[in-house]
Amino acid sequence: QVQLVESGGGLVQTGGSLRLSCVASGRIGSLQDMGWYRQAPGKQRELVARITSGGRTTYAAFGKDRFTVSRDNVKKMVSLEMGSLKPEDTAVYFCNAVVIDIGSILADKPRPIEYWGQGTQVTVSS
């Protein structure tokens, strides 16, 4: 089993900044893509940013010039720096990771599995 634990959410004023972090732990054989999604009330979950194990990044259009995703492969951590925050950024932010379980590697049958964190609330006041 793999756990993703997020931290860093909170309340911030329009124009402010926040940094979210997520640490993965458990039976991790290989940590593949990691990223962040968000879900606002009444809306579908949407991609914020993703980063491959090699550092290649993908951003949603709304975050491309304001958000920066990064990862530390040694610490098994992914972070999201958010700046110039707007009220429409208010949502629950979820960490996401694709993991190949160590057991499946040892069995010579590597199988990627997607995991989610519990979510952290980000509220931007106007």
- pLDDT tens digit sequence for 60-96: 999 999 999 999 999 999 999 999 999 999 999 999 9
The distance of Cα 96 from the centroid of its chain, to the nearest Å, equals: 5
pLDDT band at 106 (very low <50, low <70, confident <90, very high): confident
Q: What is the mean pLDDT of residues 29-40?
A: 96
pLDDT band at 9 (very low <50, low <70, confident <90, very high): very high
Q: What is the mean pLDDT of residues 112-119?
A: 96
The helix (run of H) or strand (run of E) holding residue 120 is strand 120-125
Q: List 50's β-bridge partners, or say none.
A: 35, 58
What is each CA distance from 87 to 34, 77, 83, 125, in whole angstroms? Answer: 25, 27, 12, 6
Task: Say which range, 7-16, 44-53, 79-88, 101-110, has the weakest mean pLDDT.
Answer: 101-110
